Amino acid sequence: MKTLSWRKAALMAAVVPMLALSACSSTGGKPVDAGSNAGSGQVATTDRIKIALITHAAPGDTFWDIVRKGAEEASAKDNVELLYTSDPEGGRQAQLIEQAIDQKVDGIAVTLAKPDALKDALKKATAAGIPVVSFNAGESVSAQLGAFTHFGSNEKLAGAAAGDKLKAEGLQHPICVIQEQGHVGLEARCAGVKEKLPETEILYVAGTDMTQVSSTVTAKLQATADADSIIGLGAPFTLTILKAVTSAGSKAKVASFDMNADLAQKISDGEILFTIDQQPWLQGYGSIDALWQNKRGGFKIGGGQPVLTGPTVVDKAAASAALTFAQQGVR
């Protein structure tokens, strides 16, 4: 699988015995010592550099744990000091970019869920000569905001893949649940589903409050008796949606985007039809490694085009292997 090939490449690229690496990570913009969370492997002989990884992660979303594991493993191999910060609010994420500029980092890897809020800060990064890579969200605007490549899934294509899979199951009227209004990637996912299944309804929920997610989904299902399926756009949200389906007494089938071990188990058990995986471990690993390669030799991975890490459909037939990787924290 692609994950294994990247991990093998990471080991093959190592050139000296392993050295201890102290990484820095955070939530909400407050750095903390990552300690043993950093990936392990041999360390490159290149000079130590500092890279900021800045996401729009909301507290408690396990998706970002997997992204960080990939980034930390690349940092361990590449002799990188990793500074991880996050904030789901666009303006505060922009402030984190400016903070990284002030810290004179050697590169910035950033998610572009709300690109309009970040464009001015990214202009400052470019003006300061700091190379930028985007990942996870914002593929369509990545280049114009100054990133030399983007790691992620084509979200419209991913949504279309989900729509095709639902259609193959004989389903026609899904509810697509968006947990963060204005997030360009999530909107694109539902647009892709709707392109394949025109009866798709969009439901917005407050992803920072799982109680509200549950109550809103339950009410919608009770009011929409003809909905035959419902799709969550992230593993923790889909697991909450699954419980809401039961609470509502609905017969709607459940599908998802993204992955964690609990979701993979539910697919294996037949409680969730499938998930569309974007392989977040690769996004974290690839973003850091690309910035290191750029620093060491001016290399620009992707040739100016996005590097796609998905979409990959994981259904019951594929769930056993996916569960193994998810339990290892790399899916």
DSSP 222-270: HH-TT--EEEESSHHHHHHHHHHHHHHT---EEEEES--HHHHHHHHTT
| Six-digit token string for 203 | 């439901």
What's the pLDDT score for residue 18?
29
Domain shared by 21 and 142, yes or no = yes
Does any domain span residue 186?
Answer: yes
Domain shared by 149 and 159, yes or no = no
SS3 319: helix
Q: What is the mean pLDDT of residues 161-176?
A: 98
Domain shared by 148 and 9, yes or no = yes
22, pLDDT greater than 80: no
> Are 67 and 81 contacting, i.e. CB atoms less than 8 angstroms apart?
no
pTM higher than 0.85: no
34, pLDDT greater than 70: no
Domain shared by 26 and 124, yes or no = yes
Domain shared by 31 and 90, yes or no = yes
Q: Residue 14's pLDDT band (boundaries 50, 70, 90)? A: very low
Q: Residue 21's pLDDT band (boundaries 50, 70, 90)? A: very low
**Lowest-confidence segment of 7-11, 41-45, 87-91, 164-168 by average pLDDT:** 7-11
Q: How far is CA 281 from its chain centroid?
A: 8
82, pLDDT greater than 70: yes
Does any domain span residue 318?
Answer: no
Domain shared by 14 and 128, yes or no = yes
Domain shared by 237 and 283, yes or no = no
Does any domain span residue 81?
Answer: yes
What is the phi/psi pair of residue 188, to 5°?
A: -65, -35
Domain shared by 167 and 252, yes or no = yes
With vertex at residue 186, the alpha carbon angle to CA 180 and CA 189, rounded to the nearest 5 degrees, is: 155
Does any domain span residue 258?
Answer: yes
The residue that leads in pLDDT, 2 or 276, is 276
Q: What is the mean pLDDT of residues 129-148?
A: 96
37, pLDDT greater than 80: no
**Lowest-confidence segment of 14-18, 123-127, 169-173, 309-313 by average pLDDT:** 14-18
CATH code, domain carrying 104:
3.40.50.2300
The radius of gyration of the chain from alpha carbons, rounded to an integer in Å, stands at 20
Q: What is the mean pLDDT of residues 53-61?
A: 91
Residue 302: partners with Cβ closer than 8 Å, 6 or more residues away: 148, 149, 150, 290
263, pLDDT greater than 70: yes
| Six-digit token string for 202 | 């969009």
Total domains in the fold of the chain: 2
Average pLDDT, rounded, for the chain: 88
- Whether cis (ω within 30° of 0) applies to the bond prior to 198 is no
Q: What is the mean pLDDT of residues 293-310?
A: 93
- Whether cis (ω within 30° of 0) applies to the bond prior to 59 is no
8, pLDDT greater than 50: no
Does any domain span residue 63?
Answer: yes
Q: How many Å apart are CA 30 and CA 34, to the nearest integer?
A: 12
What's the pLDDT score for residue 46?
92
Look up the domain containing 182 and give its range: 155-277
> Are 41 and 80 contacting, i.e. CB atoms less than 8 angstroms apart?
no
Domain shared by 205 and 265, yes or no = yes
Q: Describe the chain by its helix, strand, coil percentages, rounded to 5.
A: 45, 20, 35
Q: How many Å apart are CA 151 and CA 139, to the nearest integer?
A: 8
Domain shared by 249 and 288, yes or no = no
329, pLDDT greater than 80: no
Q: How far is CA 223 from its chain centroid?
A: 32
Domain shared by 285 and 272, yes or no = no
Domain shared by 124 and 106, yes or no = yes
169, pLDDT greater than 70: yes
Q: What is the mean pLDDT of residues 193-214?
A: 97
| Six-digit token string for 180 | 């963060």
Q: How many Å apart are CA 135 and CA 109, to the nearest integer?
A: 7
**Lowest-confidence segment of 38-52, 99-113, 264-278 by average pLDDT:** 38-52
SS3 133: strand
**Lowest-confidence segment of 23-32, 208-217, 254-263 by average pLDDT:** 23-32
Does any domain span residue 216?
Answer: yes
304, pLDDT greater than 90: no
